Amino acid sequence: MSRIGKKPVDLPGGVSASLSGQTIEVKGPKGTLSFTATDDVTITIADNAVSVAPRGSSKRARQQWGMSRTRIANCVTGVTVGFKKELEINGVGYRAQMQGNVLKLALGLSHDVNYEAPEGVTVTAPKQTVIIVEGIDAQAVGEVAAKIRKYRKPEPYKGKGIKYKDEYIFRKEGKKK
């Protein structure tokens, strides 16, 4: 049995959820998010909490059970608190700056990389070596952070590149003479 799926998702004050078919819509102070579950699970709203239960005991139903509960919990967290990813830039001459809605990255390439933030995600660069990605959708925030990191992944010899704030870069020793 899914330990995650068994636990109901509590709806804090100021958050409301409505169910229509397999689609649950969560409204809160930061906005509105919706999630459409597969037909393998049953979603119910009772006592200011959302519960998810599997339909049947097939492997797919048990897989969808925990995943659906987590996606609903992410919707509730997103409309109340929001999600945030911090990126750090390491390297001489590597820097980031915002110009309107466009993140301009100087990463030692022959050209600057311009990244336009999608709608619903806010990208800021408070310092030249720090990038903050914020939004209410966990998947969108993670995807934007991963795309920015992909422009110059951290390399293991000097540690230069874009990395997550809490990421550990396994360092390698250079070649010896």
Q: Work out the average pLDDT over 108-126.
A: 93
Residue 90 CB partners (closer than 8 Å, separation 6+):
129, 154, 159, 160, 161, 163
Asked, for residue 173, whether it belongs to a domain, the answer is: no
pLDDT the model gives residue 146: 96
Binned at pLDDT 50, 70 and 90, residue 104 comes out as very high
The CATH number covering residue 152 comes to 3.90.930.12
Q: End of a domain among 51, 80, 109?
A: 80
Q: Work out the average pLDDT over 75-86.
A: 94
Asked, for residue 97, whether it belongs to a domain, the answer is: yes
Residue 11 CB partners (closer than 8 Å, separation 6+):
17, 26, 48, 49, 50, 76
Per-residue pLDDT tens digits for 38-68 = 999 999 998 899 999 999 889 999 889 999 9
pLDDT the model gives residue 174: 86
Tell me the percentage of the chain whose pLDDT exceeds 70: 99
Asked, for residue 145, whether it belongs to a domain, the answer is: yes
Per-residue pLDDT tens digits for 31-44 = 999 999 999 999 99
Q: End of a domain among 80, 104, 138?
A: 80
Binned at pLDDT 50, 70 and 90, residue 4 comes out as confident
pLDDT the model gives residue 2: 64
Same domain as 90, residue 43 = no
Asked, for residue 41, whether it belongs to a domain, the answer is: yes
pTM of the model: 0.87
pLDDT the model gives residue 71: 93
pLDDT the model gives residue 1: 61
CA dist 36 and 87 (Å) reads 31
Q: Looking at the predicted structure, is the pLDDT value of residue 84 above 90?
A: yes
